[in-house]
Structure 1
């Protein structure tokens, strides 16, 4: 059964090829290494959202294009049972020893032309997280549904508990993860101007 890593890698490659753009051109436009782009296209690595956003910009498409299921222009309802049953997308945190620290459950894959990407994200606990800060255009809103998280934002670190929210400009280098040893569930809405 095909997983979402395969879907995203395949879509990136097919969009790039349909536009007659080489991997080297994407690398130049996005600032990402050719090797990283190849590993994403070949389903070897699904990085954090930052690199995917850079690839989307380099291709001239919305981030959601990589995750879209259909072209529904009307309202999209995602029932709780459907969200739990649907395949999630796993992103790495950039650490060499941890490939999956977040499970993303997209909430609007069927909505075509969207400018926001809403997710419920399950964050797995890490005792000693190693991560790389990333930045991209846009804004993010986080609501902590369960557990505790930390957001490293520039030189500051914010600790958030259940019920807390944070809204920030994602152009500032940042990284979101569970508080040390803690798991969490959050609602994240990412806005990326197109």
Structure 2
């Protein structure tokens, strides 16, 4: 099937439809005759550079948008991916500081990693060295209270219903706040770069990631979760 070419006419038709304008209304806005606009929309006429400049200025759009090919525009294709996150399907990783439950594990090459996390460490000394990894992350406190430690800011305590968004490349740690034995948070880590999940797994060192039986069956032919790392588990 032959691909449909991107044209100036198609762009103008789309722009007019999105704004609910008639040809006459667009003509009044651009000061370009209705007959000219109609011919452009039907790909029977193109515009000179001066008219294109006039069009972009009067419609308040960039000149580059009049020439952009949708295939190169950076608009993401709709993948229709979907995954229901259930604790019983999560990949579980237990370390000395945290119990991680990686949700929606069947989706590969995710750029956003949702993690249900139980925080057990109660002091900086108990936690150890601050953690760093690619991307950014968002933490929402579900139960208890969490003390957030970062290398460039003073510590802050978050209670139930409170949240924080940080640059994950900055050294950081989460510990249970004073007078709180444990805390439960929902974490979402994201990155524009690929390999985020592998980067997170590598922080666990030699600690084994455990998949539920159903997930193991679905991934029997998949590669291992990741390489064993030399870092201490966080």
What TM-score, normalized to structure 1?
0.52
Q: Which of 104, 120, 124 is the matching residue for 1:124?
A: 120
CA spacing shift, 1:171–1:125, aligned 2, 3 Å: closer
Residue pairs, 1:142-157, within 5 angstroms: 142-155=139-152, 156-157=154-155
Distance apart, 1:162 and its partner CA:
0.6
Q: Which structure has the bigger radius of gyration?
A: 2
Distance apart, 1:73 and its partner CA:
7.3
Segments of 4+ moved more than 4 angstroms: 84-87
Q: Quick check: 1:74 aligned with 2:81? A: yes
Q: Which of 134, 138, 152 is the matching residue for 2:131?
A: 134
Aligned to 1:173: 171
The unaligned stretches of length 5 or more in structure 2 are: 1-78, 194-234
* Structure with the larger strand share: 1
Aligned to 2:161: 163
Aligned to 2:229: none
The unaligned stretches of length 5 or more in structure 1 are: 1-71, 92-99
Distance apart, 1:129 and its partner CA:
2.7
CA spacing shift, 1:84–1:179, aligned 2, 3 Å: farther
Q: CA-to-partner distance for each residue in 1:105-152, whole Å, 9 max, x for gaps?
A: 111211122101101101125366342112222100000000011111
CA spacing shift, 1:75–1:177, aligned 2, 3 Å: same
Distance apart, 1:193 and its partner CA:
2.8
What TM-score, normalized to structure 2?
0.43
* RMSD (CA atoms): 2.3
Residue pairs, 1:108-123, within 5 angstroms: 108-123=104-119
